[in-house]
Amino acid sequence: MNRLSLAVAVSLAASMLHCAPVSADDLIQIYQEAERNDPALAAAKANFEATKEAVPQARSALLPNVSLTGALNANNYDASIHSDPHVDVKRDFWFGGLTVSVAQPLYRYANTVAYSEAKKQVEQSDYTLAAAQQDLILRVAVAYFDILLAQFNVELSQSQKAAVSEQLAQAKRNFEVGVATITDTNEAQAQYDSIVAQEISARNDLENKRTALRAIIGRDPPELKRLGTQFDPSLPSPDSLDYWVQHALTDNIGVKIAQFNSDIATLEVDRQRAGHLPTLDLVGSYNAQGSNGTVLSGVDSNSRQAVIGLALNVPIYEGGFVNSRVRQAIALQDSARQNLELARRNALSNAQIGFTGVTSAVASVGAFKQALVSAETAYESNKTGQEVGVRTNLDVLNTQQNVFQRRRDLAQAYFNYLVGVLRLKSAVGTLSVDDLQQINVRLQG
C-alpha cells in the first residue's frame, strides 16, 4: 500500500463524521423533535398536569360544602273502608320539598395537613418534570453520538478494507513474481476477512443505534450533522472535585425529589395521627315543603325551616384502624428517609464519576492523539522496512491496523468527553438545552 492510499484512508477516518449532507439535522433539531414525540416526556408532562390538581382537591376539604336536594311526588290514593256505611276515599295530590345544606369545617386538622401535603407534591412535580427533561437531553445526546460513532466505525471499516485489499493485491503480485512467499498472501487474506466481518458487525451496530433514536423521535432518524475536528476538550470549570460534589448534594434533582418525598412522608404521619382528634363543623340547612293535599285532606300546605348549629365528632374507638395507619405512615417515613440518603449517595457517586470521567476523557483525547501520531510513524517505518527487506508483510499489516484502531479510540474518546460533560452537569442539576447548544455549534455538515 503506497503512502497516498494510506493518507486517503486516514483522512477519511480523521474526518470524525465531518462529511454530512447539507440537509442533515443537527443535535438541537433532533432534541426539539424528541420533545414533541418522546412518549416518556409526554407521560411526565401529563403526570405533572395531573399532580397540579392535588392542591385544589385538598383545598376543597377546607371550604364550605353546599348541597341542594329536592323531590316532587305525585300521589294517587284510593281506599275502601268496609264499614257501615261503606266509605270510598279517592284523592290525588302532589308533595314537594327542597333542602339546602351547608357545612363549613372549623377544625379538621387532617384536612389542613393534607393541604400542606398537596402543595409539597406540586412543588415536587416541578423537579420530577425537570428530571424527565434532563433525562431526555441525555438520551438524545447519547443516541445522537452513538449513531455518529457507529457511522464512523462503518466508514473506518470501509477504509481498512480498502487498505488491506490493496495490501492483499500487492502480496499476490509479489508471490506471482517470486519475491514473496504464500505466507504474506495468507496473512493479508486473513486480515481482509477479519475486516469484512468487522464491517458487517459495524453496520449492524449502526442499525441498532438508529433504532434507539427512532424510539425517541418516533420516526427513522434523518442524516445527522457530524462532529467537526477543530476543538480541544477542556477540563471541568471549576476544576475542583469538591465543588461538583457539594453542588451534587444540594442541587441534584434526584436529591430534591427524595427530600420532598421525605417531607411529604413526615406530613403524612401527622395526618394519620389526626385521626385521633375531634372534628368541628359549622352546619346549616334550609328546608321548604309544600303540597296541595294529604291522604286525610285536600287542604294546601306549605312549611319553611332554617337550622344552624355546630357538629362535633369525637372519635373514641375505631377497632385500631387509626393506630395501624399511624404505624404504617411511620414506616413509610423511615423508608423515605433512607431513600433520601440513597439519593444523596448516588448524587455524590455520579458527581465523582462524572468529574473523573470528563478529566479522564480530556487526558484520553490527548493520549490517543499522540498514540495516533506514533502509530502512523510506526506504519511508515515498517513500510520502509518492508521495502528494504527488514520487515514482513505481517508487520506492515499490524501497524496499519494499529493506525485505524487508534483513530477509532480517538473518536470514542471525543464522544466520551461530550457525553461525560452532560452527565456531570446532570449530576449537579444544571443540565439544560443550552448545554446541547454549546455542543451543537461544534457540529458541521
Q: Choose the weakest-confidence range: 18-27, 324-333, 356-365.
A: 18-27
* Region 166-181 average pLDDT: 76
CB distance 429 to 257 below 8 Å:
no
CATH number at residue 383: 1.20.1600.10
Q: In terms of domains, do 97 and 244 share one?
A: no
Do the domain assignments include residue 357?
Answer: yes
Same domain flag for 283 and 372 = no
Q: pLDDT value at position 255?
A: 97
Range scoring the smallest mean pLDDT among 209-213, 380-384, 425-429: 380-384
> Tell me, what's the pLDDT at 7?
43
Residue 52 shares a structural domain with residue 68 = no
Mean pLDDT over each residue of the chain, to the nearest integer: 89
423 has pLDDT over 90: yes
Contact assessment for residue 75 and residue 240, using Cβ atoms and an 8 Å cutoff? no
pLDDT in tens, 36-58: 999 999 999 999 999 999 999 99
Residue 13 sits in the same domain as residue 124: yes
Asked whether residue 23 carries a pLDDT value surpassing 80, the answer given is no
Provide the pLDDT for residue 2.
43
What's the rounded mean pLDDT across residues 410-429? 94
Residue 194 lies in a domain: no
Whole-model pTM? 0.84
The reported pLDDT for the residue numbered 3 is 44
Provide the 3-class DSSP secondary structure of residue 78: strand
407, part of any domain = yes
pLDDT digits (tens, 9 = 90+) for 279-311: 999 999 999 998 887 777 777 888 999 999 999
283 shares a domain with 360: no
Q: Are residues 359 and 270 in the same domain?
A: yes
pLDDT value at 62 more than 90: yes
pLDDT digits (tens, 9 = 90+) for 92-135: 888 999 999 999 999 999 999 999 999 999 999 999 999 999 99
Q: What pLDDT score was predicted for residue 254?
A: 96
| Higher-confidence position of 338 and 81 | 338
Residues 6+ apart with CB under 8 A from 59: 115, 118
Q: Model confidence at 346, in pLDDT bands (50, 70, 90)?
A: very high
Predicted confidence at residue 385, as pLDDT, reads 86
Read off the C-alpha cell for 392.
Answer: 514482513
Asked if the structure places residue 419 within a domain, the reply is: yes
Considering 314, 331, 361, which residue would you say is the last residue of a domain?
Answer: 314
* 262 in Cβ contact with 340 (< 8 Å): yes
16-20, 281-285, 332-336: range with lowest mean pLDDT: 16-20
The arithmetic mean of pLDDT across residues 373-399, rounded, is 82
Most confident of 19-33, 241-255, 298-312, 385-399: 241-255
| CATH number, position 308 | 2.20.200
Domains in the chain: how many in total?
2
302 and 402 part of one domain: no
**Nearest CA-CA partner of 168 in 182, 153, 154:** 182
C-alpha–C-alpha distance, residues 200 and 209, integer Å: 14
Q: Which letter does DSSP use for residue 229 in this model?
A: S
Q: Does residue 363 sit within a domain?
A: yes
Q: Is residue 211 part of a domain?
A: no
Q: Are residues 343 and 415 in the same domain?
A: yes
pLDDT at 253: 97
Q: Are residues 23 and 97 in the same domain?
A: no
Quick check: is 101 in a domain? yes
Q: Are residues 358 and 403 in the same domain?
A: yes
Domain with 328 in it: 3-62+109-142+226-277+318-444
Helix (H, G, I), strand (E, B) or coil at 59: helix
Quote the CA–CA distance of 89 and 68 in Å, as a whole number. 35
pLDDT-above-90 percentage for the chain: 66
Residue 386: pLDDT over 80: no
**Distance between CA 369 and CA 360 in Å, rounded?**
14
Give buried/exposed letters for 359-384 (b at 16+ CB in 10 A, else e).
Answer: bbbbebbeebeebbeebbebbeebbe
Q: Are 339 and 285 in the same domain? A: no
Instruction: Specify if 247 maps to a domain.
Output: yes
Percent of the chain scored above 70 by pLDDT? 93
Looking at residue 16, what is its pLDDT?
46
Average pLDDT over residues 359-385: 91
Same domain as 359, residue 410: yes
More confident residue, 8 or 383: 383
